[in-house]
Amino acid sequence: NTIGGEVFDKQDVFRPSAYYYYDYPSPLATDYLAYLLFQVEVNRKWTTKPIIPFVWLRYSYTAGLAKKFIKPFMAEATAIFPFFSGASGLWLWEDPSSFNNEECYANYEHFIHGLYRLSQFKDMFTGNYELVIATTAREYVDTQKPIWRAVAKDNFLLVAAQNPYAKSETEIVDVPIAYKNYKTTVLLKGYEVFLCKFDVNLLAN
């Protein structure tokens, strides 16, 4: 009944899973991002070892959805957000029996595009940096507010934000971002995955 033991001690990496079970417009589908972040953040509370979650670009084995591809914005967010919660990498899992020539594999492009966007700021995840987690993943399930995470380094703040709880592709919301004495607002439209680096000196002024 405690965290630890011989197997725990021998593990050099932790691999939680973050498979998704519900598609939009199900009200449970909107928790996909909070669920993903929770898997990473709760494991970070248990261990300082690297965390590399398993992710899949299809819905898990739920009646009516089994092996159907997730939404494109979900694939892109899945590639970006775990690193803002402390993941050291991602393990993209696939079931070889799922492949057939009739399917559209565009979701892999959306996933890779997310990784590419994040790679433009790879310097923010090296050296001395700080993860900015103002609201726990679990709280988002209750509040259903737009989700944001950030990484602070030197005089810069890299912000990722998305509104998985949007009512439509055209809904526009303002998301307040705060880090120490710095505050700004991010504008989100629909389910877009926002990623931007801010100069905190400019924000302070």
**Each residue's pLDDT tens digit, 78-95:** 999 999 999 999 999 988
What is the rounded CA–CA span in Å between residue 168 and residue 189? Answer: 9
Q: Is residue 143 a contact partner of residue 37, using CB atoms and an 8 Å limit?
A: no
**Each residue's pLDDT tens digit, 33-75:** 999 999 999 999 988 999 999 999 999 988 888 889 999 999 9
Query: Whole-angstrom distance between the N-terminal and C-terminal Cα of the chain?
Result: 51
Q: Is the pTM of this model over 0.85?
A: yes
Q: What pLDDT, on the 0 to 100 scale, is given for residue 203?
A: 64
Q: Is residue 77 a contact partner of residue 193, using CB atoms and an 8 Å limit?
A: yes
Q: Is the pLDDT of residue 204 over 70?
A: no
